[in-house]
Chain A
Amino acid sequence: MGMFILRRTGVMLLTAICLTFIVFIMTNLYPNLEKLAKNEGNFRMSDAEVASYLGNRGYTQGKLQNYGEWLGILPGYVIKGIDGKTRGRCSNHGAVLENSAKYCGVIQGHWGFSSRFKEPVSQIVITRLALTGKLMFWVLMVMIPSALILGIMAGMREGSQLDRTLSTGAIVTTATPEYVSGVIFIAVFTSSAVGLKWFKGSATSAMDHATLENFLLPVITISLYGMGYIARMTRASMAEVMTAQYIRTARLKGVSFANIVLKHALRNALIAPFTVIMLQIPWLLNGVVIVEVLFNFKGFGWVLVQAASNNDIDLLLAVSVVGVVVVLLTQLISDIGYVFLNPRIRIS
């Protein structure tokens, strides 16, 4: 087991390095750098101004050199710009300090400085991740129980009217993407035009204190879309378990239907949904991006959009590292959990 986790961690590191390198190359293409310079300097800068801006800030060194500096395996640049100021990677974006460190990259714990937000990247990522964590927590709290209940109820009597209805319902929710359900919810429940105004169409105030009023709609929007899929997986798994020999035996022995469902079938039926749920988490990240933009909830998804549209290199790299870690970590947990839930599987 230890060996297995170790190997997976190794793969995770390798993937993260490969991916960040690709992101690095893409964000450091010259047109992208030009965009960055104009965002930072002035929208209407001339080409020469852009070139001097970039040169002064070390962007025009070799790509590998820059990537190495970001990783922290190469010493950070110190450049005396043509405007006479000396700038260095490790010098806190102000005047160069005599005692500033030689190396300052990810390995040393420096995630860089966001050009969009003018804050250290690590700080931004932590605050925003916490906010998204809050959203995700409630999404999972709503989505998983309801999906499991729906799936089990549909699956315990496959082919029944209840099953048909619930399955169709699940299909309908999976066929309604967030950007459709979200806007419909906003229109129906929040707008003055419809007049219900039960909830708030903006989750801005939910960042500080979330209430039912300002947080329900974003949570429901994500949950609904994700729920259908998990419910269908649960249903399939439940239906399969219900036809197994041991259930049949239990029935013949006269065990009550409730006992069969709750005591015998449930545990085995939940193995598959567990993995599905874990694999669903990174995929929820998509939904989070849409919903955060839609409801103006400034979490991780919003940071992602901001970083990408402003070509904020350091931030974008950190965001992709987080993305990769989330994906691979959930995969790892799902694998380990699978082993624990299913005693027949052994990891070689």
Chain B
Amino acid sequence: MQNLTWTGTFGAYINPFFLTALSAFFLFAVAAIARGFSRADGATLLNPTPPTIALMGPTAFIGLMIWLLGLTGLAPFSIMALGNIWLSLVACLIIGLVAGFGLFQISAKLILKLVWGASYAVLVLFSVYLIVGLFVAPETTGIVGAISKQLTPTWIALGATFALSIYYKRGLGLYGKLFDSPIGMIGLALVLFWVFTALFGAGFDLIATHDPLGQVSGMKNKHPGFALRGAEAGDYPYYLFGGDTLARDVFSRAIVGSGIVIVIAPAATIFAFMVGITLGLPAGYFGGRLDTVLSFLSNMVLAFPVILLFFLLVTPEIIESGLPNYLAMVLFVFPVIFVAVAQYSKNRLKSKFLTLKFPIMMVIAIWLYLSLVSESGTTIAILPPLLDLFDVPSEILVVFVSVVFVNSPTVFRIVRGLTLDVKIRDYVAAAQTRGEGPWYIMLWEILPNVRGPLIVDFCLRIGYATILLGTLGFFGLGLESESPDWGTTINAGRKLLSVYLAPVLVPAFCLMSLVLGLNLLADGLREESLRD
């Protein structure tokens, strides 16, 4: 069977257009940046007179330099045409200079329009691959189309979410406002893309083409689009992103790996927030000795190089001693406390709630907590196996605990600072005069009012946790070797990176896009929440 090319038979017609649009986009974008240095074409300041051109001299020079650098980025594209890097570089510089000179003659607004036009053209042409790929055989649209087809569930879910959200955005609060900010929308799209891919790919197994752990003889280190050797009926006939050094399908591993990352990173961040909030609120609100002790403890954890901490926590000897399990016991209790205190402080006067709902809620919460913590066969086996709802595999638990542990003190500091800031506000004083309890004030007055910065930090922190997971994988700590999670895969593939790019670049690109999405989302949220 033939191997797949990137864009298949269909690509022969579209590729020239696509490459032209892409090159044009880069050219215009670089030009626009260069123009950005030369004149104030952004939001004008309050001064009604046009800004002086005093900065024109040096900035135009800087702009030109950056621009030339950017043009060298075009070189790889022209290699295709000329085959020689130096020749292409020179050609690029000449074309760039000429085009740049021309571009400086037209107005900044026109350049912006050209940039947007080119980027739309790129997007449209790219989506042609994706959309056509949905309906035809993999051979027609190549790897890009085939992957798009595999991702059908994600596209549907993403499309539906966006359509509904944009339609109802006025009634959706801060989330709805995101759809006013392009940055926020791009970020959200990237994040949702991975959430849905993880859900459908790792959760329902609708996307992956092969078993992420399965090895097929003859597929070791094969390039993307390689036809499966010895394929039988029912097997997907290609390795879309090629095979890794153990002859496993890179595409399927990246997809299934997203499941691990998308679950662990946000979950660990949520737990870190629970710990940070539960401790940070009283530390900031009450101050005094409690604050001193908690701050000292958090500074102590922060004073520790994160990597050293990981090495100490994740070595097999320490795991054997059960330390991570004890740590998990301590850290996981905070969500329970948080929920209990929040509910109790809000409803403490409703007797019906206290006698019926509250005990039931607490029993469930404690049961969940015990199932999470208790693990048969380790030092902590509190629950009998019959009652133990789920066992978290020990290596995942360890990684999870480590990430929560290093993130909590930072969240604590943020919450404490915000609380210190907010507790002198009028509405807090008003609640105090109303005779509300301190916990009610903290959880139902202060916390909702500081949610903006916390949500932003939450998004950033998930990205940070994702990177941390990768760092653990990089040092071979934590998850088991075959695990398809991105960090471990990058570490496994980087040894041969100089020859076989796909096994590393695919998970690296996945990781980057998710973290980028989270950062953009955080940016969008920050912008929109500041606009209130």
Contact = CB atoms under 8 A, between A and B. Distances in A.
B8 to A, nearest CB: 26
B516 A308 contact: no
B498 A257 contact: no
A162 B34 CA distance: 8
A333 to B, nearest CB: 15
Contacts of A168: 183
A348 interface: no
A259 to B, nearest CB: 8
A304 B312 CA distance: 11
A66 B505 CA distance: 48
A15 B296 CA distance: 8
Interface in A231-272: 242, 248, 251-252, 256-259, 261
Contact of A286 (B35, B306, B501): B306
A319 interface: yes
A29 interface: yes
B29 to A, nearest CB: 8
Given A187-B498, A194-B498, A23 B312 contact: yes
A157 B54 contact: no
B303 interface: yes
Interface stretch (B41-49, B138-146, B269-277, B397-405): B41-49
A224 interface: no
Interface string B107-124: 010001000000000000
B512 A257 contact: no
Interface in A281-333: 282, 285-286, 289-290, 293, 301, 304-305, 308-309, 311, 316, 319-320, 323-324, 327-328
A46 interface: no
A257 B304 contact: no
Interface string A148-168: 000001000111111101011
Interface residues on A, range: 35 or more
Interface in B1-40: 29, 32-33, 35-37, 40
Contact of B51 (A27, A248, A257): A257
B478 interface: no
A290 B473 CA distance: 12
Interface residues of B, number: 63
B499 A161 contact: no
A160 B318 contact: no
A192 B499 CA distance: 9
**A158, A184, A187, A316: residue with the most chain B Cβ atoms closer than 10 Å:** A187
A142 B452 CA distance: 34
A259 B36 CA distance: 19
B490 A180 contact: yes
B35 A161 contact: yes
A269 to B, nearest CB: 15
A289 B472 CA distance: 12
**B475, B487, B504: residue with the most chain A Cβ atoms closer than 10 Å:** B475
B190 to A, nearest CB: 10
Contact of A251 (B45, B183, B497): B45
B511 interface: yes
B127 interface: no
Nearest to A194: B498
Given A11-B296, A161-B33, A179-B491, A304 B498 contact: no
Contacts of A309: 311, 315
A162 B511 contact: no
Interface in B300-327: 300, 302-308, 311-312, 315-318, 320-321, 323
Nearest to B508: A180
A18 interface: yes
A286 B304 contact: no
A11 B296 CA distance: 8
A130 interface: no
B321 A29 contact: yes
Contacts of A97: none
**B299, B305, B474, B523: residue with the most chain A Cβ atoms closer than 10 Å:** B305
A275 interface: no
B33 A252 contact: no
Nearest to A261: B55
17 contacts: A11-B299, A32-B318, A159-B43, A161-B35, A165-B29, A165-B32, A171-B516, A175-B519, A177-B511, A179-B490, A179-B491, A258-B54, A285-B305, A286-B307, A290-B474, A308-B315, A323-B308
Given A175-B516, A257-B54, A304-B307, 6 more contacts: A15-B296, A26-B323, A160-B36, A184-B497, A257-B51, A282-B303
Give the 7 A-B residue pairs with the shortest CB-CB distance, closest first: A160-B42, A162-B36, A191-B498, A308-B311, A31-B317, A175-B515, A175-B516
